[in-house]
Chains A and B, each alone.
Chain A
Amino acid sequence: MNSEDKILEMLEKHRTSAPNDFADGVMDALPNFRKAKRRGWWPAKGQWIAPALVGAAASLLILFLSGRFQPSEVQGHVGFHFELHAPGADTVELLGTFNNWKMGDIVLNGPDASGHWTASVELPEGRHEYIFLVDGKRWVADPNGTTHRPDGFGRVNSVINYYEDDNA
């Protein structure tokens, strides 16, 4: 029992069991709103995509034909302010879906007296994932970001969902 290897071996074999009635307690505590599959005129989850795409394409076509369509690079861009507190860093870069995760493309200015690095970037309407790269080796999710998402490579990206309708 004294050997560290033996302890690790035991740890790997051991589970802390949940109380016997744990699963019943969870099931009792679940809300009922997902009890039955929704049936009605509104399409169920996932089934709205095709009609929505057809509708969107039709709307764009109408706008285009009526001459009111403007390409996205002309409309809908908004300046976003990015900031990271990294007082000891030499460089901080911003990589995201908006610059194809390209290193060296957006380098933040800083640090200021309080150790903050900043950059302002114009982003189009839509969903954008991004991450900071500190000193070319340390990946840092935006601590000010409200939404984060694992990228599947062991890191966590921050997410911006910017839609004009939401901000109208």
Chain B
Amino acid sequence: MEERTDQQLVKASLDGDRAAFEVLVHRHQDSVFGLAVGMTRNREDAADMAQDAFVRAYTKLEQYNPDYSFKSWLLRICANQTKNLFRKRTRRRETEEKCLKIQEVEASAEVPDFQALEEALAGLAPKFSAPVRLKYMEGLAYEEISRILGIGVSAAKMRVLRGRKQLAEILSHE
């Protein structure tokens, strides 16, 4: 059977088909979680943020415009949720301790080289890690990245470039 598109699944979800939304969750969970990890550098926070993003997307599904990419819409929600989390924490003056804490990245079941890469990504500053992930792991254009993260296109390019260099530097020391 032909795989249903995101737009078809959204339509089915709007008609009350919960299983259709579950397919969307499975399809995009790694992308959303990856962005959240990139922004928080903390897997627990990332899981919370990614989950919140999906729940929020579900409750706001009527607002999604099917002419555009569902994944980008979802990633944008996730980026906004995560930024809001940071803002709230900043208000409580806990941000730096919590967000700059680099958590031990859980052992991956993938080939060992990816473990080193994952650790290097965790070592990148969030402002570089998220754009690098979106650019190379999600294959998004700079315009899309700038929209998702709420930064300018040139800032997105600059952050990807600097993130790449930092990543190479971290990996060269291993």
- What is the interface of chain A, defined by CB distance below 8 A to chain B? 1-2, 4, 7-8, 10-12, 14-19, 22-23, 25-27, 29-31, 34-38, 45, 149-150, 152, 154-156
Contacts and interface: CB of A to CB of B under 8 A. Distances in A.
B67 A152 contact: yes
Contacts of B50: 18, 22
Closest 3 CB pairs between A and B? Answer: A154-B143, A11-B136, A18-B33
Given A2-B171, A27-B22, A18 B30 contact: yes
Given A8-B136, A156-B147, A29 B51 contact: yes
B62 interface: yes
**By DSSP majority rule, is chain A's interface helix, strand, loop, or mixed?**
loop
Contacts of B51: 22, 25-26, 29
B30 A150 contact: no
Contacts of B126: none
Contact of B16 (A19, A34, A154): A34
B168 A2 contact: yes
A2 B172 contact: yes
Interface in B103-131: 108-110, 113-114, 116-118, 121
A16 B30 contact: yes
B14 interface: yes
Contacts of B54: 26, 29-30
Chain B interface extent, by class? 35 or more
Interface of B: 13-16, 18, 21-22, 25-26, 29-34, 37, 43, 47, 50-51, 54-55, 58-59, 61-62, 65, 67-68, 72, 108-110, 113-114, 116-118, 121, 132-133, 136-137, 139, 141, 143-144, 147, 164-165, 167-168, 171-172, 174
Contacts of B114: 10, 14
B55 A154 contact: no
Contacts of A30: 18, 21, 54-55, 58
Given A16-B118, A34-B16, A45-B62, A7 B164 contact: yes
A19 B141 contact: no
A4 B168 contact: yes
A76 to B, nearest CB: 25
The residue among A14, A17, A25 with the most chain B CB atoms within 10 A of its own CB is A14
16 contacts: A1-B113, A1-B171, A2-B171, A2-B172, A16-B30, A17-B108, A18-B30, A18-B32, A22-B25, A23-B25, A26-B25, A27-B18, A30-B55, A31-B59, A34-B61, A36-B16
Contacts of B29: 18, 22-23, 26
Given A7-B167, A8-B136, A154-B141, A14 B58 contact: no
A37 to B, nearest CB: 4
B108 to A, nearest CB: 7
Contact of B133 (A1, A16, A18, A155): A16
A152 B65 CA distance: 10
Contact of B164 (A8, A12, A154): A8
B15 A37 contact: yes
Nearest to A30: B58
A18 B47 contact: yes
A11 B25 CA distance: 22
